[in-house]
Amino acid sequence: MNQMLQDPDVQTSQQTQPPPVPPEPPPMPEHPHFAKPQRVAFVEACWHHDVVQEARFAFLKEAEARHLTHVDVFQVPGSFEIPLHAQILAKTRRYTAIVAAGLVVDGGIYRHEFVADTVIKALMDVQLRTEVPIFSAVLTPQQFHETEVHYDFFRRHFAIKGVEVAEACANTLLGLERLRGQVAAGIV
């Protein structure tokens, strides 16, 4: 029988040391609250839904952290259908903001740049006509191949865009809330 002999002092000191304590996560930033509750519509295209939904998941999480807790989700077939839906929602006056999410890829009879430009321009027109801010996470990759590598990349990319669009939405709504208060008070 071969046994290794160990110094009893070394063995005891190794056993009595407490395990390392993991570092504390950084505190969550405290975001400002709104004077009035905000209601947001999130309109997402179902084309490449497994990719686009990542923007919604990330948006909802970040929106909640930023006190945007009333979010209604609407789905449309593709990005081309988003502007009309956004316009109808804006005209209801139920929403203080609308967020659009979609993935426009090359295919069919339309060039993807044409579709994306048309969607963005239409969303801007709706925003200016209705004075309801509209935010876009409608993305057009230069190249998209239906491979797992591209799907994984764009899922992560849409998650990042979801956080960014939630931040832009909250900051814009806070700014508009202040501006409208100043206008009502005759300051501006």
Residues annotated as part of the active site = 111
- For the chain, the three-class secondary structure string (H helix, E strand, C coil) is CCCCCCCHHHHHHHHHCCCCCCCCCCCCCCCCCCCCCCEEEEEEECCCHHHHHHHHHHHHHHHHHCCCCEEEEEEECCHHHHHHHHHHHHHHCCCCEEEEEEECCCECCECHHHHHHHHHHHHHHHHHHHCCCEEEEEECCCCCCCCHHHHHHHHHHHHHHHHHHHHHHHHHHHHHHHHHHHHHCCCC
